[in-house]
Structure 1
Amino acid sequence: MASALLTASPDRIATAARRVMARCDELAGISAAADRIERVYLSPEHARVNRLVAEWMREAGMSTHQDAAGNQIGRLDTRGDDAALMIGSHLDTVSDAGRFDGIVGVLMGLEVVRLLREPDEAGWRSPLPFAVEVAAFWDEEGTRFGKALLGSSAVGGVWDDAWWQLVDAEGTTLRQAFVEFGLDPARITEAARRPDELIGYLEAHIEQGPELHRRGESLAVVSSIASARRFLLTVEGEARHAGGTPYDMRRDALLGASEAALAVERLCRAEHHIIGTVGQFEAFPGGVNIVPGEVQFSLDLRGEFDGERDRVWGRLTAELDMIMRRRGLRWQHREIHNAPAIACAPLLQDVVRAGIGATTTHTRDEAPVIFSPAGHDGMALGGLTDIGMLFLRNPDGISHHPDEAVSTEDVARGIRALAESVLHLAAERRA
């Protein structure tokens, strides 16, 4: 069911999409590196982007503030102190990033607020039974301190004081970085929201995979965000002279670790929706003429469901036991991250499905539904409020890379779908 607001104003949607794309380009120019995009938590670039986005929030008619965790929050009040629907994503990046991951969702949220606030050409304006907030989160990626979702975790009320001791590559602790940025670590709990303050959280995001591209679709409803566990693994052997040590005496940690990495691929490829990645791999002592005595490597293990993910981890540990025993090696692991799968709320899936339906020839039941193997800020908010997500097509599915992309046309469809989702949620709330 298309709304009167958006059917009367197709030019406004196209203008909004062009503005989103131009602002993605503008933010791409705010980087710690001259030859690539890099914006990390509590950096000068963080402060500069917050100031700019705050201007855009005010321009869209919102009040705005920087919260106790450094997130920039805009709010459009409708009836005083009503609870709010939060629309958000993140503005930090990985190193050598693309310009759309996270950013496009924040900017689309601002355009939705603009559309819902301003009367159209016929003078029609959308009354909402709730306030609308746009959250520009920071450190979703975890690039600087190695811990993802810091900003949204503070808002979700799941901050862990042990994180204050996290250290970046320069030796700066998270606590020191807070103080240097102008934030007070003692006030971090002020960023936390109460459940009665929010009616839900919606996020638009580029898909970080090729499913929509392969289907020839622009938009999708997200059913859930994958569970994830991350480990640091160590394989121990014996460092010896490369030339003087015969093969039957070698305890080569690198070969054992390499076989383990191949086992990750083999076991995960045989499973539905289980993804395992070895992203870091380092051998010690690292000499060209030394049999490696130790190898450290990472494992990122994701799944649509927690139980399936954990079952594969169990099979993998048994496989590693066999590999190391056969090669005369030892291995150990340390878990550094564990996040359960988060299901998107049925109501929010329904309103996003209806929003997509208003932009296409799909019926209500035909909008694509896919799960997200990548993590998002909604994972930190799932214990606070219901969450829903809208995916936009990303040609070829590449992300965390300068080549990630989204078309202006798909952004226009996404803005309309997101605005329609808000209107359908408003109708549900009135009912």
Structure 2
Amino acid sequence: MTAAVPTVSDAEAAVILARCDELARHSSLTDGIERTYLSAEHAAVNYRVAGWMTAAGLTTWQDAAGNQCARLSGSTRGLPALMLGSHLDTVRAAGRYDGILGVLVAIAVAGRIAASGRPLPFALEIAAFGDEEGTRFGTTLLGSRAVAGTWLESWWDLRDAGGVSLREAFLAFGLDPAKVGDAARAPQELLGYLEAHIEQGPVLEEEGRALGVVTGIAGARRFLLTVTGSAGHSGTPWPRRRDALAGAAEGITTIERIARAEGLTATVGHLRVFPDAVNVIPGKVEFSLDLRAPDDADRDRGWTLIESALTDICGTRGLDLASTQVHEAAAVACSPRLRAAIATGIRSTEPTTAPADAARPDEGGSDSGPEAPADDAPRELPSIAGHDAMAIAAITDVGMLFVRCAGGISHHPDESVTAADVALAVDALEAAVRALAADYPAL
């Protein structure tokens, strides 16, 4: 059997995966990946990514919020831009593709267009956002919120685990807090925003598809809940106990029951027990709640049901309940015209769509497999996870391309994609950009 001849996409995918590996080495952890906003690691990856942007033929700059940006001029100077982007920061003990893959795919697409000698009728920009995860200061989307012009003055007093304020971190990074507004883009400067991102879910893999079109991004609300009872010796009789942990535990299972029944996504990922001693009845428990739904009204109705149920549980047990909302993001619908362009891009890849069980780059085996039917419509699916597109939607239309990830695993070292899928993502995103160019100036 004659060996397959590697394509340009294959070579680009290999470069992208190698760059993901390289960026993963810029971490504050010695045994995993953590890269937070305005850290030394953030500065290092901005520098490295800027070099790749320059090599691709783009003009680069770091904006007033620490985002690494680039621009490829269109057929004439001063044209509005189609922005491509994602983020370079990570959660603690992260994988190497969440956010990062989207930035590197965008650079590959821009590099192709720059090398083609066929300038677009609009400019192309890349935004590699410095903070999407909110790992350091607890507030997500700081980088893209700055670009969207929705930065809040109250954020300056946020502090990280070491007590460093956001204002102090800006200064240490070489940024001027008074100029953060310079990062904001005006709506008339942009034609839209496209973001490639791993799915962070199992749908594409389960259906044997490499790529998908995102229909919208779920709205989220986050709460810090405190249940207060009375600490006491473990020998305290049952009738006299006001056990905050027992009440919180019942509340957490109730949250799961309600969320399942209402079709919501609910996560309790943080729990603190006081005084946290083996032989002491817990007197206070703090726990988080992350509540999400594609529709804000459904999400809000779910919170009303949850809050009522928790109040009843605490009342029955003689406990006090306090709740504080710490984050809210409205659901975002992806633009029909950008969804259509992404669908066009995916269709252009369908004759070579890779199977779900294609070997990953570090494994043996072939990346090829049975072809998908040419008339197989691209899969449309919502994103339950949040993305920078949510913030950018305040100033322009947004669209997202999902890339299959193994097992739907994300925010974990086992995050994995195939070289074949990455190659398809580059092809599809370029085709989407070209489709939008063909329709210009109807954009």
Distance 1:340 1:406 in 2: 29
| Native 8 Å contact 1:353 1:364 kept in 2 | no
**Aligned counterpart, 2:345:** 355
Following superposition, the deviation at residue 271 of structure 1 comes to 2.4
Distance 1:280 1:127 in 2: 49
Distance 1:339 1:430 in 2: 32
**Aligned positions of 1:315-354 closer than 5 A:** 315-354=305-344
Query: Runs of at least 4 residues of structure 1 off by over 4 A?
Result: 361-365
Distance 1:398 1:308 in 2: 26
SS in 2 for 1:370: strand
SS in 2 for 1:270: helix
Query: Aligned letter for 1:387?
Result: V
**Aligned positions of 1:204-243 closer than 5 A:** 204-243=196-235
Following superposition, the deviation at residue 222 of structure 1 comes to 0.2
SS in 2 for 1:315: helix
| Native 8 Å contact 1:353 1:365 kept in 2 | no
SS in 1 for 2:262: coil
Is 2:262 the partner of 1:251?
no
Is 2:417 the partner of 1:427?
no
Following superposition, the deviation at residue 216 of structure 1 comes to 1.0
Deviates more, 1:303-312 or 1:31-40: 31-40
Is 2:30 the partner of 1:34?
yes
| Native 8 Å contact 1:283 1:292 kept in 2 | yes
Query: Aligned letter for 1:25?
Result: D
Is 2:136 the partner of 1:144?
yes
Query: Aligned letter for 1:354?
Result: T
Following superposition, the deviation at residue 365 of structure 1 comes to 7.3
What is the aligned length?
Answer: 416
SS in 1 for 2:7: helix
Counterpart of 1:304 (choices 287, 294, 317) is 294
SS in 2 for 1:118: helix
Query: Aligned letter for 2:422?
Result: V
| Native 8 Å contact 1:232 1:297 kept in 2 | yes
Distance 1:296 1:185 in 2: 33
Following superposition, the deviation at residue 18 of structure 1 comes to 1.0
Following superposition, the deviation at residue 408 of structure 1 comes to 0.4
**Aligned counterpart, 1:387:** 398
Distance 1:75 1:256 in 2: 54
SS in 1 for 2:93: coil
Following superposition, the deviation at residue 363 of structure 1 comes to 5.7
SS in 1 for 2:134: coil
**Aligned positions of 1:100-139 closer than 5 A:** 100-119=97-116, 125-139=117-131
Deviates more, 1:197-206 or 1:322-331: 322-331
Is 2:193 the partner of 1:197?
no
Following superposition, the deviation at residue 364 of structure 1 comes to 7.2
| Native 8 Å contact 1:221 1:370 kept in 2 | yes
Is 2:86 the partner of 1:89?
yes
Distance 1:389 1:364, change over 3 A: farther
Distance 1:260 1:296 in 2: 12
**Aligned counterpart, 2:369:** none
Is 2:150 the partner of 1:158?
yes
Distance 1:73 1:414 in 2: 21
Query: Aligned letter for 1:205?
Result: H
Distance 1:181 1:383 in 2: 27
| Native 8 Å contact 1:354 1:364 kept in 2 | no
Following superposition, the deviation at residue 129 of structure 1 comes to 0.9
Q: Deviations over 1:255-293 (max 9, x none)?
A: 000011001111111223x10000011111112111111
Q: Deviations over 1:103-148 (max 9, x none)?
A: 00000000001111213xxxxx433110000110011000111111
Distance 2:155 2:170 in 1: 12
Distance 1:240 1:15 in 2: 65
Is 2:259 the partner of 1:268?
yes
Distance 1:10 1:350 in 2: 29
Query: Aligned letter for 2:418?
Result: S
**Aligned counterpart, 1:171:** 163
Following superposition, the deviation at residue 317 of structure 1 comes to 1.0
Distance 1:81 1:10 in 2: 38
TM-score (norm 1): 0.95
Identity %: 53
Counterpart of 2:408 (choices 376, 391, 397) is 397
Q: Which consecutive residues of structure 2, in runs of 5 or more, have no partner in the other structure?
A: 352-372
**Aligned counterpart, 1:4:** none
Distance 1:276 1:96 in 2: 21
